[in-house]
Amino acid sequence: MTRHLFLSFIIIFNGLTLYSQADTLMTQSVDELVIKAVRISTTIDKLPASAGVYVATEQQEIMQQNSLQEYVRKIPGVFTLNANNYAQDLRISIRGFGSRAAFGIRGIKLIVDGVPETTPDGQGQLDNLNLGIIKSIEVLQGPASSLYGNASGGVININTLDQIEKNYTQAGITIGSFGTQQYQLSQGLTSQNTIALLHGSYTQSNGYRVQSGYKNLNLNAKVKHSLTNKSSVTFNLNFADSPQADDPGGINLESVIADREQARDRNVSFKTGEEIRQFKTSLNYKLELSEVADISSYVFFATRDFLGFLPFGFGGVIDLSRKYGGHGSSYTLQSVTSSGVNKLQIGYDLAIQNDDRMRYFNNEGTQGEVTFDQGEQFFNAGIYLVDHFQAGNFNINGGLRFDINKLTAKDNFLSNGDNSATINLSSINPSLGLSYQIGNKNYVYANYSTSFETPTLSELSNNPDGTEGFNPDLKPQQSSNIEVGLKGTLINGSDKGLTYAIVVFKVNTKNDLIPFELEAFPDRDFFRNAGETSRFGIESNLAYAFGDGWQSNLNYTYSNFKFEDYSLASADLNGNFLPGIPKSFGAISLSRSGERGLLFDVQYILTGELFANDKNDVAIEGYGLLNLNLGYQIQTDEMKIIPHFGINNLTDITYNDNIRINAFGARHYEPAPGINFYGGLKINF
C-alpha cells in the first residue's frame, strides 16, 4: 500500500511541466533575521528574549534528513535524544522541558507554517514532517514562549518553503548503513498570483538493533494564493503513513556489554512497535487592512490512528483514534508617535481533541480481548494580548495570556464500575521583557514570565492502579521563568560577520511531571509529581562567517537542574539532579554553502554526563560525537546535480542514543550505532 501511494505521487509529479530549479535561501546576518514565533514579528537582535534560528541553505541538500536532530544541534539550549528509535520518536528538551517524554514531544509547543502541530493536551510528534522542505526553524528557549499557553516550556516554529522564482523539480535518492533507503521528489510551480509546492518522501530501514526497522511515507501539498495585493491564503495538506516502526526496547548495562545490537527478549516475543497513519489539513488567511493594521487567521483539522504493541500481556496493545482541530485569529495595530513605535496584538486560540483509547491483551504479538475502553476530550480556549514598544534604544515586550482547559474522560469499560471524570484547569500567565541597545548592534535584555503544563490525556489515563478514568493524584506543573542576556554583532560585512549570544536563566517549577515504570508493565510510563525543582543554566552561541560561504558555529549550554522538594517512600531526593539532561552539552561546526561547488559540514557534538533516574545512582558517561557531510554542486544549463556523502560517528565511539528515565530493572540503555555511512544523489531540473 505504502509503495503504491508513493508511486502514484511520482506519476502525478511527472505529469507536470518542468522548468528550472528553485532558488535556495542564504544565511542572513543577525540584524536581518525576522522571528515570527513571538507573535509580533521582530528582528532577533531587538527581541528582548532568547531565541535561536536555523535558516536553510544549500547545505541542507547534503543532510541525511532522517531526524530534526540534524537541524537543531547548532541552536543552544536544545538537547535531543532518541534519533534512531522511530517507535519512540525524537525526544527534544529545552531547559528541561520535554525531557520526561516516553514517546513524542512533551512540554514544547510545535508549530508548522503558523498552525499548531502540538495537540491541545501538550503532545507532539514530527513523524509527519517533511524535512526536505524546511525553510527555517525558530526556537524560543525561554519566557516568551508562555504566550502559547499549555505545554510551552519552549516553542519550535517550523516554516516550510513558500517562495520560489521559477518552476522546478527535484528528485533525490539516499542509501545508507543498516539497509536505509530514502527517496524524495519535489515539485514547485508558480504563476502570477499562486505558488504550489508538492513533496513526497519514502524511507525505510532495517535499523541498527534487532527489532528496530521502520517504513514511512510522507506526502505534502502547499498552495499559496494572493487574493489581492493586500491579502493571501495558504492551504496545506499532509498525509503520513508509517506501517512499521519497531521498538527494540531498553536493556540493562550487562546486556549492552554483551551485545549492543540486541533487542530486549520480551520486545521480540511481544513484537513491540507501532503503526501510525495521520492526515492533516489547514488554511491560513492574512489581510492587510491598512499600513498600520492587519488580521491573521488559521483553521486546521487532523486525524491520527495509532496501533502500538508493548512487551506485556494485560493492556499491552493500544488502539488510539484521535481527531483534533482548532482555529485562531489575531489583530495587530501599529501606532507611531513622538514617543516611539508601538505594536499591539490581541488574539485567541481555540482547539479541541477527541481520543478514543482502547487497550487489549498482547498475546505475544497478537491482539487479544479488550481490557480498557475510554473516550477522552481536551478543550482549550486561550486569549492573549501582546504589546511591543520601541523608543530610542529601548524595546519593551509585554504579554498576558488566559487559558481555559476542560478535560473529560468517559469510561466505556463498565465491568469494574464507572470511572468517568471531568477536570477543569485554568491559568493566567503574564510576561515582560526589556532590551537596551548598546552601541551599534549589541543588546542587553531581561525577561520574566510564568507558564504551566497540564498532564497529557495519555499520561492521565495511565493509572498505576490499573483503573479507568484519570489519575486523580496527577497535577499540572507551574513555572516561573527569568533570564538575562547579551547578544549582538561584533563584525559585520557583506559576506563576513561575527555574532554572539549569551543568556543566564533561572526556572522554578512546582509539581514537575516525572515518569516511572512498574515491574508488571515494562516499557509503559506512569507519572508522578515532584514537589519543586530549580533550574539554573547558561546558554551561549558564537558564529563567524569567513566569506565565500564558509561559516563556523560554537554553542555551549550549562544546566544545573535539581529537585528542591521531592521525596519517595524509599528515598529523600532533595538536591538530586533531574534525570535525562546533561549538565553540559554543545557543538562546534565548520561548514560551507553556496550556489556552486563544494558543500561541506563537519560537526563535533559534546554531551556531558547525565543521570538515568531520580535517585542519581545510575550515571551515564558523556561523549563527543563527530559527523561529516560532503557534497558537490555541478551546474549545467538545464539542471544541477548534487552527489553527497556522509559519515556519522566518524571516530566510532560507543554511546547511547537514548536513556529511558526511571526504567524498571535498570533497563535504561538504548545503544547507538558505531560508525555508519550514507550517500546519495539529488538532481534539480
Residue 529 is predicted with a pLDDT of 82
Burial, 417: exposed, middle or buried (Cβ in 10 Å; 0-12, 13-18, 19+)? exposed
CA distances from 58 to 22, 239, 414, 476, 590 (A): 11, 26, 58, 43, 15
Positions of E strands within 44-179: 51-55, 78-81, 91-94, 105-106, 109-112, 115-116, 123-124, 134-140, 155-160, 168-176
**Rounded to whole angstroms, how far apart are CA atoms 586 and 581?**
12
Please write the tens of the pLDDT for every residue from 202-228.
999 999 999 999 999 999 999 999 999
Higher pLDDT, 90 or 267: 267
DSSP 448-482: EEEEEEPPPHHHHH--TT--SS--TT---EEEEEE
Overall average pLDDT of the 19-34 stretch:
42
Q: Evaluate if residue 622 carries a pLDDT over 50.
A: yes
Count of H helices and E strands in the chain?
5, 39
Residue 411 is predicted with a pLDDT of 87
- Fold classified for 2-684: Maltoporin; Chain A (2.40.170)
The chain-wide mean pLDDT, for the chain, equals 89
Share of the chain above pLDDT 90, in %: 64
**Rounded to whole angstroms, how far apart are CA atoms 255 and 261?**
9
- Confidence band for 159, pLDDT divided at 50, 70 and 90: very high
Higher pLDDT, 583 or 122: 583
Please write the tens of the pLDDT for every residue from 113-125.
999 999 998 888 8
Q: Evaluate if residue 62 carries a pLDDT over 80.
A: yes
Residue 493 is predicted with a pLDDT of 64
Q: Evaluate if residue 322 carries a pLDDT over 70.
A: yes
Overall average pLDDT of the 26-46 stretch:
70
Q: Evaluate if residue 495 carries a pLDDT over 80.
A: no
Higher pLDDT, 531 or 15: 531
Please write the tens of the pLDDT for every residue from 397-409.
999 999 999 999 9
Please write the tens of the pLDDT for every residue from 561-580.
999 988 887 788 899 999 99
Q: Evaluate if residue 21 carries a pLDDT over 60.
A: no
Please write the tens of the pLDDT for every residue from 282-317.
999 999 999 999 999 999 999 999 999 999 999 999
Residue 575 is predicted with a pLDDT of 92
Overall average pLDDT of the 593-600 stretch:
90
Residue 7 is predicted with a pLDDT of 40
Q: Which of 155-159, 402-406, 525-529, 549-553 has the lowest average pLDDT?
A: 525-529
Q: Evaluate if residue 648 carries a pLDDT over 50.
A: yes
Q: Evaluate if residue 522 carries a pLDDT over 50.
A: yes
Q: Evaluate if residue 3 carries a pLDDT over 50.
A: no
- Confidence band for 5, pLDDT divided at 50, 70 and 90: very low
- Confidence band for 78, pLDDT divided at 50, 70 and 90: very high
Overall average pLDDT of the 656-685 stretch:
93
